[in-house]
Amino acid sequence: MPEITYRQAIHDAMVEEMRRDGRVFLIGEDIGTYGGAFGVSAGMLEEFGPGRIVETPISEEAIIGAAAGAAMVGMRPIAEMMFMDFILLTMEPLVNQAAKARYMFGGKATVPMVVRMPGGSGTGAAAQHSQSLETILMHIPGIKVVAPSTSYDAKGLLISSIRDLNPICFVEHKLLYKSKGEVPEEEYAIPLGVADVKREGRDLTLVASGIMVHKSLDAAQIVAEEDGISVEVVDPRTLRPLDVDTIAKSVKKTGRLLVVHEAVKTAGWAGEVMASVSETPSWDYLDAPMRRLTGKDVPIPYNRHLEAAAVPQVDDIVREVRAIVNTQY
Amino acid sequence: MSNNHLMEFDNEKTTDVLEKSKQLGLLEKDLVEMYRTMISIRLFEEMADKLYALGKVHGTMHLSAGQEGVAVGTGKVMGAEDYLLNHHRGHGHFIASGADIKKMMAEFLGKETGYCKGRGGSMHIADVEANNLGANGIVGGGIQLAAGVGLAIKMMGEERVVLVIFGDGAANQGILYESFNMAAIWDLPVVYLCENNQYGMSADVTRVSSKVPFKERATAHGIPGYYIDGNDVLAVYETMANAVEHARSRKGPVFVEAQTYRYFGHSKSDRNLYRTRDEIEEWKHRDPIERFQKLLVDANIITEEDIEKIYQEMSQLIDEAVEFAENSPEPDVSEVTEWVYA
């Protein structure tokens, strides 16, 4: 299988779906000649023209409102938010309009739209361009939240998201755009709501998404080599709906759970994972308290050392895994 | 006394209904139908108020009595294929667009047979299959969607237009200007109708607006803007017909501001502390139904006898709707989580 970047995978998913379905179009800021702030849509204007690569003024609320309106009457918009942080400007059309139209109108409306948004820290962009706001989006019935960690997942999940009939928030981690992974040349799609076990293990279940999957895999390798600890890394891939079954099954096997995310701790989705597991029979199989390792409860700072200290790093994960496995309860 | 910015429309006022209707291409039967629709809206709103007083309504409501001229003048213009995005005071516009009064009443009472199966209530009545994209509980909510609907129409190469109706309150929401800008740069077939009933809840439009009329804000974006007497149903029809034609012929968006007034309070919590009884009475002298009725009677299009008969018929229609709604089943609580996702 050829290796392509995460950026290319997202690009390819959009291009293939736009070729397949004339209703699909891309709307957002600087997505044409500029190719998008992170270069994801580079070249798409040349292929599809300004009629389907719709470059907008800097009007985030109107972009999401327009996507929702177009979706309600039969189009399949993909809206690009330049940074995930800007989604906060669009909460009204996203939460009060797109997410609710179907329910509020008694099941008679569909709003098939995808909002792509680069999230996460690590680029020195500071507090307003580095957030991980997945939990805010997960809290809204009617919205699905997807957060791929690999090129393979990014392409397959984006294709499913574009074909889905609901508003989808598709969270891309900006540090992953250059990462490479194998992606088949033939068409494929990954169903939403299905987790993926990225590494099998026996001693501890580590749930992580986005870039934290990669950091967790690195940490798992270190503790395997240095401590003989066998970590199972589960990537939910879709945060809402959350595949609790796969996570609970893993916990039943390992007896320990650590949830790692970059988003801040308070009311973060680690709490949701832990609560969900505690409601299953797997709770009875736990040999240790469930733990979470998350971003600190601070805005993302600018200084590189402070920025790195604000979110979990490989060493932090290694330390946490050891603490859980080595403590006698 | 507030409302000191109100415009008088003496020069443009409809005085000869025969002359005017001929000019507009409306037949006598069209005029009578418009009159009947106005009556049905007024009676619907009065019944809604009564049902609330009787304790039969669970939620809130926003009544549009006094604004029938805008609703009917507009509804008569719109084609069945055109999209409608409505505001929270939207009963009149739905009735004028041909909605089923029984299903509206059932939704108002929260019944399974209502337009939204009792999930939406008065504020969210929608009929997507009939291109009615819903009333909106968020002030300016429809404005957010309008440019997107217009964009979709343009992308699909269709001849429809999207009509988005909002009040003077929504005219101070920032999204209107993002929407104006988008619709203008892309020449979208969006008809913006601002129903200026003088108050955003209790806020006098002149107190909370840097500049009125709002049409100047539209023209500042290069969008043609009109300010009309919303209580003159034929004037509304005339301007809206031109506006819709403008949008339909792909000349881009257009903005109409209709001056009108609501008689009832903002919602059920309103004690009318922000306006005087005199003011309300004064507006009743400009009542859109009575003005139109007088024109029709003066032109011998209807008689006093006809009027009585029309009231009886419309009243019966409303009573039947109430009966239908009251006899309809409640939604099944076991289905409370249906339709969150498609």
pLDDT digits (tens, 9 = 90+) for A96-116: 999 999 999 999 999 999 999
Mean of per-residue pLDDT scores for chain A:
98
User: Chain B closest CA to A109's CA: distance in Å?
Assistant: 6
Label residue B98 left, alpha or beta by phi (over 0 means left) and psi (-120 to 50 means alpha): left
Residue ranges, chain B, pLDDT below 70: 1-5
- Chain A residues inside the 8 Å CB shell of B84: none
H-helix or E-strand spanning residue A269: helix A269-278
At residue B320, the pLDDT reads: 98
Residue from B113, B128, B136, B153 to probe the interface with A (highest A Cβ count within 10 Å): B128
Residues 6+ apart with CB under 8 A from B130: B80, B98, B99
Interface residues of A toward B, Cβ cutoff 8 Å, are: 25, 51-52, 54, 56-57, 59, 61-62, 64-75, 77, 92-93, 96-97, 101-112, 141-142, 144, 164-166
Question: Averaged over A47-61, what is the pLDDT?
Answer: 98
User: Chain A closest CA to B120's CA: distance in Å?
Assistant: 5
Fold of B17-324: Rossmann fold (3.40.50)
B199 touches chain A (CB under 8 A): no
How many CB atoms are closer than 10 A to CB B156?
A: 14
Per-residue pLDDT tens over the stretch A119-154: 999 999 999 999 999 999 999 999 999 999 999 999
Contact in structure between A208 and A233 (CB atoms under 8 Å): yes
For A67, the closest chain B residue by CA position comes to: B148
User: Chain A closest CA to B76's CA: distance in Å?
Assistant: 23
Please judge whether A74 and B156 are an interchain contact, meaning their C-beta atoms are less than 8 angstroms apart: yes
- Look at residues A88, A11, A77 and name the one whose alpha carbon lies nearest to residue A45: A11
For A168, the closest chain B residue by CA position comes to: B341
How is residue A307 written in tokens? 């920025």
- Chain B residues inside the 8 Å CB shell of A103: 119, 339-340
Question: Averaged over A80-93, what is the pLDDT?
Answer: 98
Please judge whether A57 and B178 are an interchain contact, meaning their C-beta atoms are less than 8 angstroms apart: yes
At residue B2, the pLDDT reads: 47
At residue B227, the pLDDT reads: 97
CA A111 to chain centre: 20
Q: Any catalytic annotation for residue A129?
A: yes
Residue A181: helix, strand or coil by DSSP? Answer: strand
Please judge whether A65 and B148 are an interchain contact, meaning their C-beta atoms are less than 8 angstroms apart: yes
Q: Report the b/e string of A188-213 with b at 16+ CB within 10 A.
A: ebbebbebbebbebebbbbbbbbbbb
* Residue among B129, B141, B153 minimizing CB distance to A97: B141
User: Chain A closest CA to B161's CA: distance in Å?
Assistant: 12
Identity (one letter) of the amino acid at A23?
R
Residue B268: exposure state from Cβ atoms within 10 A (0-12, 13-18, ≥19): middle
Please judge whether A73 and B83 are an interchain contact, meaning their C-beta atoms are less than 8 angstroms apart: yes
At residue B291, the pLDDT reads: 97
How many CB atoms are closer than 10 A to CB A322?
A: 17
At residue B313, the pLDDT reads: 98
Residue from B82, B136, B339 to probe the interface with A (highest A Cβ count within 10 Å): B339
Query: What is the spatial distance between Cα B330 and Cα B326, in angstroms, rounded to a whole number?
Result: 9
End-to-end CA distance of chain A: 46
Query: What is the spatial distance between Cα B280 and Cα B260, in angstroms, rounded to a whole number?
Result: 12
How is residue B212 written in tokens? 């009125």
Query: What is the spatial distance between Cα B214 and Cα B242, in angstroms, rounded to a whole number?
Result: 19
Contact in structure between B130 and B164 (CB atoms under 8 Å): no
Domains of chain A, earliest start first? 3-182 (3.40.50.970), 196-326 (3.40.50.920)
- Chain A residues inside the 8 Å CB shell of B178: 57, 59, 61-62, 65
Query: What is the spatial distance between Cα B121 and Cα B140, in angstroms, rounded to a whole number?
Result: 18
At residue B9, the pLDDT reads: 85
Question: Averaged over A57-71, what is the pLDDT?
Answer: 98
Per-residue pLDDT tens over the stretch B174-188: 999 999 999 999 999
Whole-model pTM: value is 0.96
Contact in structure between B232 and B14 (CB atoms under 8 Å): yes
Question: Averaged over A70-86, what is the pLDDT?
Answer: 98
Please judge whether B339 and A65 are an interchain contact, meaning their C-beta atoms are less than 8 angstroms apart: no
- Chain B residues inside the 8 Å CB shell of A56: 182
Query: What is the spatial distance between Cα A186 and Cα A188, in angstroms, rounded to a whole number?
Result: 6
- Look at residues B66, B163, B194, B50 and name the one whose alpha carbon lies nearest to residue B108: B50
At residue B5, the pLDDT reads: 65
- Chain B residues inside the 8 Å CB shell of A74: 152, 156
Residue B204: helix, strand or coil by DSSP? Answer: strand
